Amino acid sequence: MPDNSPVVIDLKFDRAEVEAALAGAFQARAVLHASDPDADLTGARYAVIWKPDRNLFSRAPNLQVLFSGGAGVDHILSLPDLPDIPIVRFVDHSLTTRMSEWVVLQCLTHLRQVPTYLKQQRERRWLELPQPEASEVTVGIMGLGILGQDSAAKLKALGFNVIGWSRSKKEVEGIETFHGAELDAFLARTDILVGLLPLTPETRGIFNASVFSKLRQGGTLGKPVFLNAGRGGSQVEADILSALESGVLGGASLDVFETEPLPLESPFWSMENVVVTPHAAAASDVRALFRHVEGQISRLETGEPLEYLVDRNTGY
């Protein structure tokens, strides 16, 4: 039965947005803010967190479930003194849709040569460029979770050829899939490489010079393109810059970076074939997040199992 235990909120989001979302959430239980240094968190069983304070677990020693404020959980798994309790990922239609919209937008941006047309606009040049079709381009998605599969389906609907790679074997309807040691074969087919991998010890720095050198050269786009909206730690930015400067890569769209906010001195800001977005590909809808948390708490308190549990062995 529901016990109305308090829930702790420790989200490094816009405070006004969080407060507005809380107006209609958790009405049957107390809400405690970790940002309040005087708040007594000892009675809380649940915490909704995104990059939480380092002392959260000492202040809230009786937590039973952690709910991530976003799809990624590396910000939780790297915390010191992390208690051995369930961690629940945020999975919601709004989050999934926003991510796949970003992926589709960036694929179309490079297919339709938007960076070059924007340069021509600034130069007041009227020049029509050769126009390939989506069906002539293969998009390779690394990471075939919920976000990757939704992106694949939408790209397929637009006519792109889509293939996917994951660490372990996955069957995805309508998509040719590769896994594990088949990475090189996957890369050799790929014109636009999309990174949607979680950050784990195995994926840290995976998008590097070796991977870029194995992408298909001389395809319809001429040079391959790299998109990353997964985690900044999965990419080696010096290798991206080198690949762009040498022509191994023809362009990139980056939503995540090794250091965020992206330092002002980063060359990415001024590169005409690079699209930079500020980790905004799939911003969490806080109202949807709280609905998700309430639904999972209700499941737990009525004897049903939690969904979207993180496997600490795999890191996602």
Q: Annotated active-site positions, please?
A: 231, 279
SS3 292: helix
d(CA 50, CA 69): 5
Alpha carbon distances (Å) from 110 to 283, 284, 304: 23, 26, 45
- Taking phi over 0 as left and psi of -120 to 50 as alpha, with beta for the rest, 82 belongs to beta
d(CA 101, CA 141): 14
* Residues whose CB falls within 8 Å of the CB of residue 210, separated by 6 or more in sequence, listed in order: none
Q: How far apart are the first and last CA of the chain?
A: 29
Comparing CA positions, the residue from 223, 113, 104 lying closest to residue 160 is: 104
Give burial (CB, 10 Å; 0-12/13-18/19+) of 10: buried
d(CA 273, CA 77): 35
Phi, psi of 229 (to 5 degrees): -130, 20
Length of the chain: 316
Q: In what order do the strands lie in the sheet with 7-11?
A: 31-33, 7-11, 46-50, 65-68, 87-88
d(CA 310, CA 88): 6
d(CA 36, CA 276): 35
